[in-house]
Amino acid sequence: MATVHRLSRTDAGRVAIQAQQLAKDRPTGLVETLRRLSLVQLDPTSAVAPSADPALWSRLGLSYDPRELRDAVDEQKLIQLRGRHAAGRRGPRALPRRDGGVSGDRGAARLAGVPPGLGPDHNACRRDILDRLRADGPLPAHELRDTCVLPWASSGWNHHKSLTMMLHFPVQRGEVAVAGGWGRDRLWDLADRVYPADPAIPSEEARRLRDERRLSALGIARSKGPACPVEPLDVGEAGEPADIEGVRGRWRVDPALLGRPFAGRAALLEMCKPAARRRWGHYALPILYGDTLVGKLDARPTVRAGSSASRLCTGTCRSPPR
């Protein structure tokens, strides 16, 4: 039976900080950073900059140039997958789920090639998208026709966005991929023309590799968590078991990060809350100093002679720990 590591909250936090590339020793390059993080979220609607830019700037510092990220996507050094940037060029022939199925498909729907919630009309639109890309791709989304007879229905966020949603599902199935472009101007093409023609990884092996990479990026995580196929919150049996002082449940820790000397620095973390839950501002970024959260930055762009500036959020900052 594997030894269970007993960690204080401070030790657990330092493991996570080092895994997330927020300690004193910064990564040295864009692709290296994304390989270590495994992915970063891409949200083109933001208060300061697309969310991937602040995340990478917090790791790389002044050496980060947003144009390098855009070039890496265009050159297909990175892939875009459901609102995230990921390192490497292997796409999801199928994204493994814990129940052994394929993300986005269930039972008879998988046999028909239709994810849950989609009917034959939606599947016909999916086939139309694949046929158009096969003939004329790569193409931007506005050159693809929405041929769904019934509009996409949701709780509100994706209501009537049939084409947008129909692009997500063939991406998740490994049929379509982003072939360049940026933000809302992305180019779409058949995945076989974007990803390398490497042999498909068996499902169990793919799941093991996913868990190991995710734990390496997080440092410490729960064995089981809520379903989240693109940015998983759980890591299965990767790493070694751990208990955190005063925290319920069993955790998994990357043993390569245990026992390392810790040296911290100042860094900004991402956080954006819905309007009803805001207390500190629209885009209040927590300030990490060493291994302690010491305040928040209410960041927003301010046009000033061609430059941008941010203002400090008052009432939350305190002196950094000595």
Overall size of the chain counted in residues: 322
Write down the mean pLDDT value for the chain: 77
Whole-number pLDDT of residue 315: 37
Give the tens place of pLDDT for each residue, 217-268. Answer: 999 999 887 776 667 788 999 999 999 999 988 899 999 999 999 999 999 9
- The CA–CA distances, whole Å, from 61 to 66, 188, 205, 216, 248 equal 12, 31, 35, 22, 35
- What separation, in Å, do the N-terminal and C-terminal C-alpha atoms of the chain show? 41
Please give the structure tokens belonging to residue 2.
Answer: 């594997």
Domain limits of the chain? 5-90+199-257, 108-193, 265-322
What whole-number distance in Å separates Cα of residue 104 and Cα of residue 102?
A: 6
CB 316 within 8 A of CB 296: yes
Please give the structure tokens belonging to residue 179.
Answer: 């072939």
CATH code 3.40.50.10860 for 108-193:
no
What whole-number distance in Å separates Cα of residue 116 and Cα of residue 27?
A: 41
The helices-and-strands tally (H runs, E runs) of the chain is: 8, 13
Query: If you write DSSP's letter for every residue of 137-184 in order, what string do you get?
Result: -SEEGGGS----SS----SSTTTT-HHHHHHHHHHHTTSEEEEE--GG
CA 235 to mean position of chain CA atoms: 15
- The CA–CA distances, whole Å, from 288 to 14, 115, 201, 247, 291 equal 12, 41, 38, 21, 7
Please give the structure tokens belonging to residue 291.
Answer: 């291994």
State the pTM of this model: 0.76
Whole-number pLDDT of residue 30: 93
Three-state DSSP at 309 gives coil
Whole-number pLDDT of residue 155: 55
Whole-number pLDDT of residue 281: 72
CB 55 within 8 A of CB 268: no
Least-confidence region, from 133-142, 185-194, 221-230: 221-230
277 pLDDT higher than 70: yes
Top pLDDT among 132 and 182 is at 132
- Residue 307: Cβ-neighbour burial (10 angstroms; 0-12, 13-18, 19+): exposed
Give the tens place of pLDDT for each residue, 59-82. Answer: 999 999 999 988 888 787 887 776
Whole-number pLDDT of residue 102: 29
CB 171 within 8 A of CB 184: no
23 pLDDT higher than 90: yes
